[in-house]
Chain A
Amino acid sequence: MLKIVCSVAAVVVAAIALVISPARADEFTKEDLKKWDAAFQTVAKEGEKLFHSALGKNSVSCDMCHPHASNNHPETYPKFQKQLGKVVGLREMINWCIQNPLEGVPLALDDPKMYALEAYIYWERRGVKLAPGKH
Chain B
Amino acid sequence: MTNGINRRTFLKGAGVLAASAALPVGLVEIAFGKGNESFTFAYISDSHITQINDTQFVRNFDRGLQKAVLEVNFMDPQPDFVIFGGDLAQLGKKAEIDHGLAIMKDLTVPVKWVIGEHDYYLDLGKYWQEKVSPLYYSFDHKGVHFVVLNSILTHDDWTHKRWPTPEERMRQMARLDNPEGSPFMVKDEQIAWLKSDLAKVKKDTPLVVLSHSPLYKVFKEWNFWTDDAEKVQALLKPFKKVQVLHGHVHQVLYNRIGNISFNAFMATAWPWPYPVSYSQLKNKVPDMTVFMSRADPFKERDGTGWGKIDLADGPKVVHHYELWENSPRTVENNPKGNPADTKYQDPKKRIPSQEHY
Scan B47-80; emit 1 where CB is below 8 A from any A CB, else 0: 0001010000011100000000000000000000
A79–B356 CB distance below 8 A? yes
* 5 A/B residue pairs, CB under 8 Å, sorted by A: A59-B58, A67-B222, A127-B279, A134-B355, A134-B356
Residues of B within 8 A of A (CB): 50, 52, 58-60, 175-177, 221-222, 270-273, 277-281, 294, 297-298, 354-357
Task: Give the number of A-B contacts (CB < 8 Å).
Answer: 69
Contacts of A97 in B (CB 8 A): 297
Main secondary structure of the interface of A (DSSP, over half): loop
Please tell me if the beta carbons of A135 and B222 are within 8 angstroms of each other in the complex.
no
Bound together, the chains give a CA A9 to CA B300 distance in angstroms of 72
* 6 closest Cβ pairs, A-B complex: A71-B273, A67-B177, A70-B278, A67-B176, A70-B277, A68-B177
| Count of A interface residues, CB-CB < 8 Å | 31
Q: Which residue of A65, A73, A76, A125 contacts B270 across the interface (Cβ within 8 Å)?
A: A65
Residue A29 is within 8 A (CB to CB) of chain B in the complex:
no
The distance in angstroms between the C-alpha atoms of A66 and B60, with both chains bound, is 17
Q: Is A96 an interface residue (CB 8 A)?
A: yes
Q: Are the C-beta atoms of A63 and B176 separated by less than 8 Å? A: yes
- Bound state CA distance, A55 and B356, in angstroms? 24
Residues in A lying within 8 Å of B, measured CB to CB:
52, 57-60, 63-68, 70-71, 73, 76, 79, 81-83, 96-97, 100-101, 103, 124-128, 134-135
Main secondary structure of the interface of B (DSSP, over half): loop
Is the CB–CB distance between B297 and A58 below 8 Å?
no
- Tell me the smallest distance from the CB of B89 to a CB of chain A, in Å: 13
Chain A nearest Cβ from B153, distance in angstroms: 21
With contacts A66-B273, A67-B176, A68-B280 taken as known, whether A82 is within 8 angstroms of B294 at the C-beta atoms is no
B303 CB to nearest chain A CB (Å): 9
For residue B269, which residue of chain A has the nearest CB? A64
B287 CB → nearest A CB, Å: 20
| A82-B356 contact given A52-B175, A59-B50, CB 8 Å threshold | no
Residue of B nearest to A124 (CB): B280
Indicate which residue in B270, B294, B297 contacts A64 across the interface (CB closer than 8 Å): B270
- Asked if A135 meets B60 with Cβ closer than 8 Å, knowing A57-B52, A83-B298, the reply is no
Which B residues are CB-close (under 8 A) to A66? 273
